[in-house]
Amino acid sequence: MSRLKIAAGNWKMNKELEEALDITRTLANSSRPTDVLTILGAPYPFLKSLVDQTLYVDHLDIAAQNCHHKVSGAYTGEVSVDMLDSLGVQYVIVGHSERREYFSETDDMLAEKVNLLLAKQMIPIFCCGEPLEIRKAGNHESHVGSQVSNALFHLSPEQMKEIIIAYEPIWAIGTGETASPEQAQEMHASIRDLIKDQYGSEISEMIPILYGGSVKPSNAKEIFSQPDVDGGLVGGASLKADDFLEIIHSF
C-alpha cells in the first residue's frame, strides 16, 4: 500500500509576517512533486494570512503548532481547536517534544487534543520521541510506545486512520549525537508494529510516520528512502524556501 508522502515544516517561534508570506509564496509558485504533501507549521499570528494565501494551491497546507486541550474557557493566551477550525486550519502539531518538556504536556492532555481535533475533522500530527538518557538505557522503544499508546489507542480504527505520526529522536537534536537513517527506520518500524498489534496491518500500513531528527537537504534523500519513513517534520531547514524545496524534491 502506498502511503502519503509528507514534507512538513515546523517554523517554531521564528520569522515575522512578511517573511512567512514570502516563504509561502515561493513554495506556492515553485514546481513541487504532485505526490508530496507540503505542510507549513506556522506561528498563530500568521495562520489566517497563510491559509488565505494557499487556499487554491495544490498540495500545500498550513498547520498550527499547537492547540489547547479544552474546548473553551478562562485560559488567557491560549488558542482553541474551534478558533483554528474557524480560520480554515486543517492540521495541528500535537505533543512536540518542546511542548512536553517546557510546558509539561502529558499524554492525557494530548489525548484530549487529539479528540477535539478529530471531532472537527482536523488532522493531528502527533509527535513522539525519546531523550538521550532513555536512548542510552536502551528503553527507547518502550518509551515511545507508551507515548503512542497512551495518547492514541483509545481511538476507534476509523479515527486512527486520520492520524499522522512524527517521530523525534530528541537525543539527536542539538546534543552532538547523530541519528542514522537505520536508527530512524528501526524506530519507525517499531511504531508501525505497535499500531499493527493494536489495529491490524491494514491501518498500520496507511498511517504516515514522519522523521523529525534534523532533516536537511544533505540527508533527506537517504532518510526518506527508508521503507517506514514517509517524510519529515523539518525544523530549521524549513525556514529557508530553497532548502525546504530541496527536501520536498528529495523523495
For residue 213, the model assigns a pLDDT of: 85
- Rounded-to-integer distance, Cα 93 and Cα 111, Å: 13
Please give the average per-residue pLDDT across 155-169, as a whole number: 97
Per DSSP, 84 falls in state H
Please state, in angstroms and as integers, the Cα–Cα distance from residue 111 to each residue in 17, 20, 224, 248, following that order.
31, 30, 28, 30
Model pTM? 0.96
Give me the chain's average pLDDT, please.
Answer: 96
Q: Is the dihedral of CA 97, 101, 107, 113 positive or negative?
A: negative
φ and ψ at residue 164, rounded to 5 degrees:
-110, 135
Residue pLDDT, tens place only, 59-116: 999 999 999 999 999 999 999 999 999 999 999 999 999 999 999 999 999 999 999 9
Residue pLDDT, tens place only, 8-61: 999 999 999 999 999 999 999 999 999 999 999 999 999 999 999 999 999 999
Q: Hey, what's the cell of 150?
A: 497512551
- Rounded-to-integer distance, Cα 35 and Cα 37, Å: 7
Report the CATH number that the domain containing residue 141 is assigned in CATH.
3.20.20.70
Domain that residue 86 falls in:
5-248
Positions marked active-site: 96, 168
Please give the average per-residue pLDDT across 221-235, as a whole number: 96
φ and ψ at residue 60, rounded to 5 degrees:
-135, 115
Report the number of distinct structural domains present in the chain: 1
